[in-house]
């Protein structure tokens, strides 16, 4: 016969699980809350543990947003996709690394991504290829203006 888990066991379980998860990588408060709920921990205990960890500085949505956005930028994603992914993770503001980027910076990134993936050939005669590349850049989270600028860019030696 198993003993019923008491309040202390639940809190210990929540603290240990949250700390293990935070040791691996940054998490948003929402992500951590969902992962603890999957472990069948009571909502009141989860909130108390997460409040404590925020007070200690171990859990910080601003730090998570910054780290996450920088990683996604390095992987070639655009601002729309990054902001959407952050919102899905419970962060409803743009981190500083995104707000510092200008439209010109994003256009350069879109051009670099296009050059790496497809090259910078002239697409005026090949509508199907232009559409294919535009869809790719769009799925990556670049705005219509950024995609248009990237598609207009030609290689220097052509």
CA end-to-end span of the chain, whole Å?
78
| Whole-angstrom distance, CA of residue 6 vs CA of residue 151 | 61
Overall CATH class of domain 102-158: mainly alpha
- Alpha helices for 43-143 (secondary structure H): 43-56, 61-74, 79-88, 96-99, 103-117, 127-139
Please write the tens of the pLDDT for every residue from 37-73.
999 999 999 999 999 999 999 999 999 999 999 999 9
Q: In the prediction, which pLDDT does 16 show?
A: 95
**Assigned CATH topology for domain 60-101:** Arc Repressor Mutant, subunit A (1.10.10)
Q: What is the pLDDT averaged over residues 26-38?
A: 96
> What is the 3-state composition of the chain as percent helix, strand, coil, each rounded to the nearest 5?
70, 0, 30
35, with CB counted inside 10 A (0-12, 13-18, 19+), is middle
The DSSP secondary-structure symbol of 72 reads H
| Whole-angstrom distance, CA of residue 35 vs CA of residue 119 | 42
Kindly report the pTM of this predicted structure: 0.87
Please write the tens of the pLDDT for every residue from 109-139.
999 999 999 999 988 899 999 999 999 999 9
Query: Could you tell me where in the chain the CATH 1.10.10.10 domains are found?
Result: 8-59
**Assigned CATH topology for domain 8-59:** Arc Repressor Mutant, subunit A (1.10.10)
Banded model confidence at residue 157, pLDDT cuts 50, 70, 90: very low
pLDDT of 156 strictly over 70: no
Tokens representing 66? 């910054």
């Amino acid at each position: 016969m198993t003993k019923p888990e008491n309040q202390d066991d639940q809190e210990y379980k929540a603290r240990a699980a949250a700390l293990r998860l935070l040791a691996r990588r940054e998490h948003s408060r929402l992500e951590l809350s969902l992962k603890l709920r999957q472990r069948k921990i009571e909502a009141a205990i989860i909130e108390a543990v997460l409040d404590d960890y925020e007070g200690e500085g171990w859990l910080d949505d601003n730090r998570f947003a910054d780290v996450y956005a920088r990683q996604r930028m390095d992987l070639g994603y655009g601002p729309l996709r990054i902001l959407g992914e952050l919102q899905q993770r419970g962060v409803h503001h743009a981190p500083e690394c995104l707000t510092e980027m200008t439209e010109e910076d994003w256009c350069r990134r879109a051009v670099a991504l296009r050059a790496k993936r497809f090259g910078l050939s002239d697409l005026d005669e090949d509508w199907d290829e232009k559409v294919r590349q535009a869809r790719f850049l769009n799925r990556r989270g670049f705005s219509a203006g950024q995609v248009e600028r990237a598609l207009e860019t030609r290689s220097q030696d052509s």
